[in-house]
Amino acid sequence: MKDQQKVLHRVGDVAPSGGKLAGDMLYVRDLVGVEFTITEIQKREGDNGEYLAVVIEIEGKKAFFFTSYQAFVSKLRKCVDDLPLLATVTEEVAEKTGRKYFDIH
């Protein structure tokens, strides 16, 4: 039996992160009522399931935000092939529960 050397791999090669995103990181709440352009949508997997990294431009500056909000994920998954897109985040109130949530239009 031949002696086989074990090849060592880097964690980043086996399970790469999504990579660095250009611009400032924003929170969804920072985008309420602001019109912006979505230039890139990256699907990512985290410990709690799928989430999105959304790259945007606001007034000519690059920025990005992360979201796992179902209202966003279900809409934005359908938009990946139609970029760039104009968007605005709104804060809504659920009729039945009165709970506030964010939506994207």
Q: Residue type at 7?
A: V
62-80 pLDDT, tens digit per residue, is 999 999 988 889 999 898 8
Q: What is the DSSP letter of 47?
A: T
- Please check whether residue 4 lies inside any domain of the structure: no
**64 - beta bridge partners?**
25, 55
DSSP for 17-37 reads -----SSEE--GGGGBT-EEE
> What pTM does this model have?
0.77
Give the pLDDT score at 19.
66
Indicate whether 87 pLDDT > 80.
yes
- Please check whether residue 6 lies inside any domain of the structure: no
13-63 pLDDT, tens digit per residue, is 555 556 678 899 999 999 999 999 999 999 888 888 889 999 999 999 999
- Please check whether residue 61 lies inside any domain of the structure: yes
Backbone angles phi, psi at 45, to 5 degrees: -115, 130
Give the pLDDT score at 48.
86
Q: How far is CA 18 from the centre of its chain?
A: 10
- Please check whether residue 27 lies inside any domain of the structure: yes
Task: Take residue 68 and report the two structure tokens written for it.
Answer: 């796992």
**What is the domain count for the chain?**
1
- Please check whether residue 44 lies inside any domain of the structure: yes
- Please check whether residue 95 lies inside any domain of the structure: yes
Give the pLDDT score at 21.
85
Domain coverage including residue 30:
19-104
